[in-house]
Chain A
Amino acid sequence: MHKSSGNNNEQVYKMKQLYKFTLIVLFAGFSTGIMAQSASDAQARFKKHINSVVEKVQSTDEAVEKRAILNNSFENLIGAIEKVESMKAIPEADKEGLVSLKDDILEKKDELNGENGFRKVPNNSLNDFANFVQQDLEQADSTVTISVTTLLLVILILILL
């Protein structure tokens, strides 16, 4: 065996190892950074969606319209959550988080309509109720137990509805 080709093989081997290592490090760094940013973005999008509902409620003076906006919003949220819940690829831990969020939304819908032991929200309290829904969902960090991918799926379905 020639000495020069032996050295060349060694160099090629080292370069291959360096190449593989760089790709792994880049991917790990990239994915961690991207995932952290994506989690914040997904949660922010969810909160912005809720805010847009609150703004719509407050933009109209008609109680009937306010109720319709809130009911539609709750139904859309519940529907989106149920669609994602039914997907086989969703992890069990995420399903628990989705169930918790769905129960929260269902309870708010019940209260709006005076069902399941709740007193119906009076017409003159609908703006305050909308604020309550927003504040309650924001402060409780209700999406923290749901992974980025799952939350993004919920938001995507909401946008498509």
Chain B
Amino acid sequence: MKGELKITPFFNLLLGFKKYISMNRWLFFVAILFCGCNNALVEKPISEKNEIPRYSIISVIHADADYLFHKDGKAHQANEKALEKSIKIAEQAEEGEVFIFHQKPEKKAWLVFPKKDREWYHYKNGVLINKGLYSPLNGGLETEALLYKKYSEVENIVRKPMLMYFGHEIPTFKRTYHQSQENEKFDVQIFSKDISTLSNEFGIIGVSTCNNGNPLLIHSLNDLADFVVASPQNLHLSYLDMGMFRMLETKPEISEKELADSLALSSFKRLKEELQTTITVSIYDLKKLKSKLPLLVENYDKYIKENKVNPYFSDNIDCASIESLAAYLPEKGITTYYRSSAFGRNNSSVKHSGWGCKDLN
């Protein structure tokens, strides 16, 4: 008949199905079921404790990338190890609160519909009182900040909060960082901006990544923390230690300076026992470095642009080996624990400035 289209058996099936469920109703049902009502937070209160904490620790563990490493022949996932360490500290924190954010890869239900995969935990006085699943709002730490603001009692806590970040090198310039979310970028600027929404003042920020003990990242944290612990060069995936946070229980009067130093030194000692590669762990006293950083950053920026240095995931070298930068490296306000690798080109150096810079192409 004129105007009548040829209908295949598949469309007959669809048209038949439509007799029982209208398309609009079906789509609405699917949207409700799988799109999470645009709510990134799923919370599940477990119990309540009423003592006000004396300190607050935040542990952010990136897991949306390859974190496999081997130790004595056994395979380990660096993010799972970091999660174990964080939970252990949280359970021992009888007078503190600990938030843990495990940034797992985003997966899809039925391979299509987004679901919440990241996990968060809230411990208070050593007890898990809240946990849930969430999805990121972007490539940074916005959702983590929302959760922390909602549940933390940090406003009642005198001691400044402490943050540990575990992951791969935070890039200098925006690029893909999360393997399951290629369109969401992450870099030093996003990191420092988002953690400033967690708190505008940290006692210690521990950056357990490769190569982030560099002028750009340290400068970006300038007004945010008293001390930063970071590695100016490669850091093994077994990461910095968190064990020294236990001192907040055993030695409540411990200063941020002493705690930062203990974190760095204990990590250095353990890594030295386990690894053949270079180990560099530095503590940056941001109050002492404040006046010197802008000039160093200005010259480092110039060096990167003039030499077309590749800033993407390439190993740092000691900034002191770069002639145009050596004069601008502050000596006061930085403590470095260093052991050169047993092998490789740079195994003869006996000291390190504590500043990591990208090498020329």
B73 touches A132 (CB 8 A): no
Measured CB to CB, the closest approach of chain B to A7, in angstroms, equals 11
What chain B residues lie within 8 Å of A138 (beta carbons)? 68-70, 236-237
A1 touches B3 (CB 8 A): yes
Q: How many A-B residue pairs have CB under 8 A?
A: 134
A26 touches B112 (CB 8 A): yes
A140 touches B210 (CB 8 A): yes
Which stretch (A36-44, A76-84, A152-160) binds chain B? Answer: A36-44
A33 vs B4: C-alpha distance in the bound complex, in angstroms? 41
A32 vs B111: C-alpha distance in the bound complex, in angstroms? 9
What secondary structure prevails in chain B residues at the interface with A?
loop
User: Given B15, B236, B341, B344, which contacts A15 in the complex, CB threshold below 8 Å?
Assistant: B15
What chain A residues lie within 8 Å of B345 (beta carbons)? 107
User: Given B18, B65, B168, B277, which contacts A136 in the complex, CB threshold below 8 Å?
Assistant: B277
Closest residue of B by beta carbon distance from A111: B343
User: Given B4, B112, B236, B344, which contacts A8 in the complex, CB threshold below 8 Å?
Assistant: B4
B75 touches A9 (CB 8 A): no
What chain B residues lie within 8 Å of A140 (beta carbons)? 210, 234, 315
B11 touches A15 (CB 8 A): yes
User: Given A40, A100, A107, A128, which contacts B179 in the complex, CB threshold below 8 Å?
Assistant: A40
- By a beta-carbon cutoff of 8 Å, the part of chain B in contact with chain A is 1-5, 7, 10-11, 14-15, 18, 23, 64-66, 68-70, 73, 75, 105, 107-108, 111-113, 168, 179-180, 182, 210, 234-237, 275-277, 312-315, 341-345
Given A54-B73, A136-B344, A140-B315, is A5 in contact with B3 using a C-beta cutoff of 8 Å?
yes
Write the A111-137 contact mask toward B (1 if CB under 8 angstroms, else 0): 100000000010001001101101110
Measured CB to CB, the closest approach of chain B to A111, in angstroms, equals 6
Q: Is A88 an interface residue (CB 8 A)?
A: no
Measured CB to CB, the closest approach of chain A to B232, in angstroms, equals 14
A32 vs B344: C-alpha distance in the bound complex, in angstroms? 38
A1 touches B2 (CB 8 A): yes
A37 vs B105: C-alpha distance in the bound complex, in angstroms? 9
Number of A residues with CB within 8 Å of any CB on chain B: 52
Q: Is A141 an interface residue (CB 8 A)?
A: yes
What chain A residues lie within 8 Å of B113 (beta carbons)? 29
A129 touches B210 (CB 8 A): no
- By a beta-carbon cutoff of 8 Å, the part of chain A in contact with chain B is 1-2, 5-6, 8-9, 11-12, 14-16, 18-19, 25-26, 29-30, 32-34, 36-37, 39-40, 43-44, 47-48, 50-51, 54-55, 58, 100, 107, 111, 121, 125, 128-129, 131-132, 134-136, 138-141, 143-145
B180 touches A36 (CB 8 A): yes
A24 vs B182: C-alpha distance in the bound complex, in angstroms? 18
What chain B residues lie within 8 Å of A145 (beta carbons)? 312-313
What chain B residues lie within 8 Å of A33 (beta carbons)? 107-108, 111, 180
Measured CB to CB, the closest approach of chain B to A32, in angstroms, equals 7
A54 vs B72: C-alpha distance in the bound complex, in angstroms? 10
Measured CB to CB, the closest approach of chain A to B226, in angstroms, equals 28
A132 touches B276 (CB 8 A): yes
B73 touches A51 (CB 8 A): yes
Measured CB to CB, the closest approach of chain A to B108, in angstroms, equals 5
Closest 10 interchain pairs by CB? A132-B276, A43-B66, A29-B112, A36-B180, A30-B111, A132-B343, A51-B70, A139-B236, A138-B69, A36-B179
Given A29-B112, A140-B210, is A54 in contact with B70 using a C-beta cutoff of 8 Å?
yes
Measured CB to CB, the closest approach of chain A to B59, in angstroms, equals 20
A55 vs B72: C-alpha distance in the bound complex, in angstroms? 9
User: Given A32, A134, A139, which contacts B180 in the complex, CB threshold below 8 Å?
Assistant: A32
User: Given A9, A19, A34, A139, which contacts B3 in the complex, CB threshold below 8 Å?
Assistant: A9
User: Given A5, A48, A121, which contacts B75 in the complex, CB threshold below 8 Å?
Assistant: A48
A33 vs B343: C-alpha distance in the bound complex, in angstroms? 39
Given A6-B3, A36-B179, A145-B313, is A129 in contact with B69 using a C-beta cutoff of 8 Å?
no
What chain A residues lie within 8 Å of B75 (beta carbons)? 47-48, 51
A128 touches B276 (CB 8 A): yes
Known: A9-B3, A51-B73, A139-B234; 18 extra A-B contacts, CB below 8 A, are A6-B3, A12-B11, A15-B18, A16-B11, A33-B108, A36-B180, A39-B179, A54-B70, A107-B344, A128-B342, A129-B276, A131-B276, A135-B277, A139-B236, A139-B277, A140-B315, A141-B210, A145-B312
